[in-house]
Amino acid sequence: MLITLKNAKKVFGSDTIFEGLNFEIKEKDRIGLVGRNGCGKTTLFKLFTQVESLDEGNLFIKKNTKIGYLDQIPEFEGSVRKYLQSGFFRLQEMKQQMEKLEEQMQHPDTFEKAMARYGSLQDQFSRLGGYEMDAKLEAVANGLNIQHLLEHSFSSLSGGEKTKAGLGKILLEEPDVLFLDEPTNHLDLSAIEWLEDYLKEFQGACCIISHDRYFLDQAVNKIADLEAGELTIYHGNYSRFIKEKEERLLAEFKAYQEQQKKIKKMRETIKRLKEWANQANPPNEGLHRRARSMERALERMEKKEKPLIDPKKMKLSFQTGERSGTDVVKMKEVTKQFGDKKVLQGVDFHVRFRDRIAIAGKNGSGKSTLLNGIMGLIEPDSGEISVGSQVQIGYLSQHPFEHADPNQTVIDHFREHIRVTEGQARQILARFLFFGYAVFRKLHQLSGGERMRLKLAIFMHQNLNLLILDEPTNHLDLDSQEVLEEALDQFEGTVICVSHDRYFLNRNFKETAYLIDGKLYRFHGNYDETKEKWKEHLEKHKA
């Protein structure tokens, strides 16, 4: 046992996040921690890593257990290479000691003592993988696609790049327990698949918070489901968990119904016994005793709670506006260059009414540039981009309120875009899980998932017929992802989507276009059906 949490209680303000909660992490565990946004998953991680303290209960960590956790965007002075090398802290210290001993070995009077110490230290350095440091660093940098950033100043990186480098450093530290909070959010498809392979070979334990169902299927063999302050452990990957949870809930619901029938019969019997006892002349004390005995049995009975079969979900359906023309988007020989980098090179892209097209590719391959070109936010250097007649575009970005007033309230922002009364706005927002006072919260106070839900509430009432989605599932919990998928099924318009969520891509898109070195390659089929063709093209371009 590496980490044990016993009878844990955590309170924020007047809200009890969980109470009496137990959780264990054993050697070589591969645990996926799942639950709705705001249920306390990240809080649990902060307790394990002692960033936060318990209000009640105990946390036991095995002596000398090394924990790896990327909590927030890291900061560092120096190059990205230096930052990654700091993951080899112990080996770097040994290397410096060996260099000092090498100097001492140059002098006859300190030669023998230095030589003996050097030999022992060199054996230990070799055994711990000291001579493979550079190779390991290059492998991790290549896998996470940050090898081109190694000589850059760490402070010059974007937030996403810093997060990827932070993940790389933690992997190089090779901790005994690895805590990963939404590790796939800043990774492209190649890097996610590399991370899956890395975790399969990883010798320690790991616990992962993720809304990426495909990733959880590949990376974990146990699911910890945090719901309503209670934790339930399921053995198997995410798909097996869904099946087992459904079976368990149905069994619990059946047991609850049976108990409710029994309670109803007991109450009816008690009522009849009392009536018969009172009708007798004189009143029958024996019947009264039987009634009181049954009442005590009813009080002692451990009442089963009604299981939460269908928790509150967003109610989402896109109202398709006026039908667009058959030709929705046409791009012909489009090129775009930023500085020395050619992002788009002669791209042809024809989107017709009701097409559902996923655009995939590595980070930095130009996917966002392509979307911005369609929306008219950037002008191509050459070529033509035309959007068809009567096309109403709805754009869902990864950062939906980047340019909004952070102090604006939820309801004011909604009414700025959708002309309805305050009462109507509150009714609509409640369907997107903004209840009561939550509609008066300010935009900067919202979580990533809440921001996405607010944007979807606005989308739903704008009569759109072309949806452009940029990583739409990044901040949505699993229930909300399912709601979005069902809404897309019913949407009568056209959808273009950039995503690295393979489950979402496989379920919703029957055409996939890959952007490689500025060229667009389009195939019939979802991600799983077409990824080998993508990899073939990547290999050709490397050659």
Question: What are the residues whose beta carbons fall under 8 Å from the beta carbon of 45, sequence distance 6 or more?
Answer: 33, 51, 69, 71, 179, 181, 207, 209
The torsion angles phi and psi of 54, rounded to 5 degrees, stand at -75, 145
The per-residue pLDDT for range 458-510, each reduced to its tens digit, is 887 888 889 999 888 887 778 778 878 888 888 888 999 999 999 999 999 99
Residue 125 vs residue 509, higher pLDDT? 509
Taken as a whole, the chain contains a residue count of 543
Using a 10 angstrom Cβ sphere, with 0-12 exposed, 13-18 middle and 19 or more buried, the burial of residue 59 is: middle
Give me the pLDDT at residue 70, please.
Answer: 79
Sheet holding 56-61, edge to edge: 15-25, 3-12, 56-61
Whether the Cβ atoms of residue 237 and residue 48 lie closer than 8 Å to each other: no
Greatest extent of the chain over all pairs of C-alpha atoms, in Å: 119
Tell me the pLDDT tens digit for each residue of 306-357. 776 665 566 666 666 677 888 999 999 999 999 888 899 999 999 999 999 9
The secondary element (H helix, E strand) that includes residue 211 is none
| Under 8 Å between Cβ of 256 and 307 | yes
The per-residue pLDDT for range 417-433, each reduced to its tens digit, is 888 999 999 998 988 88
Q: What is the mean pLDDT of residues 401-429?
A: 89
Distance separating alpha carbons of residues 165 and 167, to the nearest angstrom: 5
Average pLDDT over the chain reads 88
Question: In this model, does residue 447 exceed pLDDT 70?
Answer: yes
Is the pLDDT assigned to residue 110 strictly greater than 80?
yes
- How far does CA 261 lie from the centroid of its chain? 41
Say how far apart CA 237 and CA 169 lie, in whole Å: 27
pLDDT grade, residue 61 (50/70/90)?
A: very high
In this prediction, residue 208 carries a pLDDT of 94
Taking the CA atoms of the chain, what radius of gyration do you get in angstroms? Answer: 30
Task: Report pLDDT for 72.
Answer: 66
| Nearby residues of 198 by Cβ (< 8 Å), 6 or more positions away | 140, 143, 171
With CA atoms as reference, report the closest residue to 364 among 156, 166, 518. 518
Q: From CA 168, how far away is CA 157, in angstroms rounded?
A: 14
Q: What is the mean pLDDT of the segment spanning 389-410?
A: 84
Phi-psi region of 35 (alpha: psi -120 to 50; beta: other; left: phi over 0): left
Higher-confidence residue: 444 or 403?
444
Whole-number pLDDT of residue 322: 72
Token look-up 């309170």 returns: 11
Euclidean distance between the first and final Cα of the chain, in Å? Answer: 48
* Ramachandran quadrant class, 228 (left: phi over 0; alpha: psi -120 to 50; beta: rest): left
pLDDT grade for 238, boundaries at 50, 70 and 90: very high
Note the pLDDT tens digit of each residue in 243-297.
998 888 888 888 888 888 998 999 989 998 888 888 888 888 888 888 889 889 8
Query: How many DSSP H helices and E strands does the chain contain?
Result: 17, 18
What global pTM score does this model have?
A: 0.76
Q: Which amino acid is at 359?
A: I
State which amino acid sits at residue 470: D
At 411 the pLDDT is: 94
Average pLDDT over residues 70-93: 86
